[in-house]
Every structure is written in C-alpha cells, then in structure tokens.
Amino acid sequence: MRPESKIKAVLIGAGGWGLQHARILSQRPDVDFRAIAGRTMEKTKNRAARFGVRAYTSIPEMLEREKPDLAFLSLPNDGHFQPTLEVIQAGVPLFVEKPLVFDLKEADQLLQEAAERKLFFGINFNHHYARPVALAHQAIQQGRLGELTFATWRFGGEGGTSHPFNNLLETQCHAFDLLEFLCGPIDSVMAQMTDKTHPGTYRTLVLALHFSNGAVGSLVGSYDSSYAYPDTHRVEINGTKGRILIEDTVRRYTYNAAGSETAEVWQAGYFNDRDRDFYLTFDRHMDALLDAFKAGKQPPVHARAGRRALQLAFAAIESYSKGKRIAVPADSFAPAAQPEILPPPPNP
C-alpha cells in the first residue's frame, strides 16, 4: 500500500465486541470502513446503519464486492474457524479476536494457509496495550526485578460457552499470552480443575507453571466469579531485586525494590481517560496494528500467539486428565513486540 492510501476495511461480526471494532474503524482517518457481515440481516443492518456502511450476511459476497485490504473478525468464541478460513482462502489479510480456535489442528490449518498466501494475520491480545503491562515489561527488560522467581495470575468472571474447558480456552488464553510476554516461555504445566457448578464443564481451574528460565508460576481462572468484583484481575511478578503488581489490567501498576517499604505507583490521573479505560487498550493495539500493516511489516501480535496459548491450554487439559506434569515445547513461542509507553494526555 502507498502510505497515503486509506485502508479499505470490512468487519465480520455484529456482536458486542464487534461494536468496538466498528467504533475504531469508523473513527480512523486512515481507514475506509466499507461493510459489516453478520449472521442475521436485521441485526447487521442496524449495526451497519449506525456506522454508515453496507450490510451483508454472506462473507464471500462481501469480500468479492468490497475487495478489502484488511478484514476484521469478531465472532462468538466457538464460531471462529470457518469464517476465518473463508477470509484466508479468499487471500485477504486479517485480524481476529481471541481465542484463535478451540482445536490445534484447526489452528495449524489456519496458520499454514495464511503463511502459504503470505497474509498479514494478527490476533487481538489487547492486554499487551494496558499501560501497567507495558510498564511491567519495560521494568523486567531493564533488569529491575533481577532474576525472576515467581509469577501469579488471577482472573475471574462469569459467562462462557458450553465447551467443557471454556474458561481455560476462551479467557485464560490472555493469561498464557501475557505471562509468556512478561516472563518468557512456559516449559511445563500441572493442573487442577473443578466442574462442581456445571457438571462436565470445568469453569474453575488452578495451574502450576514452570518457566524455561527457572521461575515458577500459578494461574487461577474462573467463570464462577464476577467481573463486578474489585481486583478481579491481579498479576504479581517477583524477582531477586523487586516485585511488580498489576491490578485490574488498567487500574494500577506498582513496583517495589527488594526490601523497600516505599513503592513506585502508576495510576491514571484525573484527565487520563485513555489509560484508565480497558476498551481503549484495543485502540492502542489498533494503532500499532495498522502502522505495521501500512509499513508492510508483521502484526505486533501475530496469530501464532493464539496457537501458542491453545498449545498451553491443551497441555493443562492433558495434565488434569492424566494427573501429572506435562512438558511443553517452546519452539512455537513467539514473543510480541514491546508496546510503546505513551505520555499521558495533557490536561484540557
């Protein structure tokens, strides 16, 4: 693409998070947002009318008529594979929501077919673009924690599909992705899970992790909790020189040097809505994504990261079913780029 050209974009999905895609695409001066494809015409027409674009219920028809430069997919968690494959086989670069899919063979097929066509293929692990996460990554890379010793992750809410390992695959893909982003590759997993609230569906789980650098970790995930609770998401990373806390993804970052009772704390100032709003982490990811696309580069978070999270999830399922630790090869580990830490906006 010429740098001055607008990116012709289409969206597949007229649901809740698809609204965030449409909001961002409609507001960007470098994007020509053309159309939305959905499963039902009435709902899709209503969404398309809101943003002044055309409505379709057929993905192939939309791709043929609109001839997009880039397609965005935001579909129900358990409905990702076939629409994604249709876009790839049409030869259209794409950006998808997590989880990539629920099956490793499907993930491998998508990645292989995209690679054969040399397609730009990104995935929305937008937690990377929360300021506390970027600050944590920067501190770790600068050696402020010294040698990492342990990391803990807790993230609990409600919802989910009917898949027997719904929370693990749909939501804790963020955990696997972010823990490896911050701490490096996970090389083994041990798991405990419970289906006490929905027999046959393991909505709450605890994993013990081992990283290839020698650190250990824990992961607690649940759909038997509530996103309304304060501190529903918490990450703690300890090292020989200090400790980092990330609270509710965007709410607060804290660093303590080892032995110090005085902490460095970041939290958004009064006018800094950009960094306090979880939804706007997606805006920042989109900035990086479209900059990479226009420059002819790979996406900042490649879809391979979705495959890697799925690989770790299935290792956890195997561990639970066999009652033993499962080694995980690190050969597919591909860390994402470091998000830029922007200054807070000036006071109005």
Q: Please report the pLDDT score of residue 197 as a whole number.
A: 96
Q: Which residues contact 286 (CB under 8 A, 6 or more apart)?
A: 24, 28
The per-residue pLDDT for 5 is 86
pLDDT at residue number 182: 98
Are the beta carbons of 125 and 305 closer than 8 angstroms?
yes
Structural contact between residues 97 and 73, judged by C-beta atoms closer than 8 angstroms: yes
What's the confidence (pLDDT) of residue 337? 57
Which pLDDT belongs to residue 330? 76
Which amino acid belongs to residue 17?
W
- Summarised one tens digit per residue, pLDDT across range 144-192 is 999 999 999 999 999 999 999 999 999 999 999 999 999 999 999 999 9
The CA distance from 176 to 312, in Å, is: 7
Q: What is the pLDDT of residues 31-65, one digit of tens each?
A: 999 999 999 999 999 999 999 999 999 999 999 99
Q: Given the structure tokens 């077919």, which residue do they identify?
A: 113
**DSSP for 104-146, written as a single string:** HHHHHHHHHHHHHTT--EEE--GGGGSHHHHHHHHHHHTTTT-
Residue 37 phi/psi, 5-degree rounding, is -110, 135
Alpha-carbon distance of 246 to 256, in angstroms, equals 12
Supply the DSSP symbol for 230.
T
Domains and CATH numbers, the chain: 7-119 (3.40.50.720), 127-327 (3.30.360.10)
Give me the tens of pLDDT residue by residue for the chain, a chain 348 residues long.
555 689 999 999 999 999 999 999 999 999 999 999 999 999 999 999 999 999 999 999 999 999 999 999 999 988 899 999 999 999 999 999 999 999 999 999 999 999 999 999 999 999 999 999 999 999 999 999 999 999 999 999 999 999 999 999 999 999 999 999 999 999 999 999 999 999 999 999 999 999 999 999 999 999 999 999 999 999 999 999 999 999 999 999 999 999 999 999 999 999 999 999 999 999 999 999 999 999 999 999 999 999 999 999 999 999 999 999 999 987 655 555 555 555 655 655
**Helices vs. strands in the chain: H and E counts, helices first:** 11, 15
β partners of residue 235: 153, 246
Residue 185 preceded by cis peptide, ω within 30: no
pLDDT of the residue at 261: 97
Distances 120 to 111, 162, 296 between C-alpha atoms, Å:
11, 31, 9
Whether residue 206 contacts residue 260, with contact meaning beta carbons closer than 8 Å, is answered with no
Q: Are 152 and 218 in contact (CB under 8 A)?
A: yes
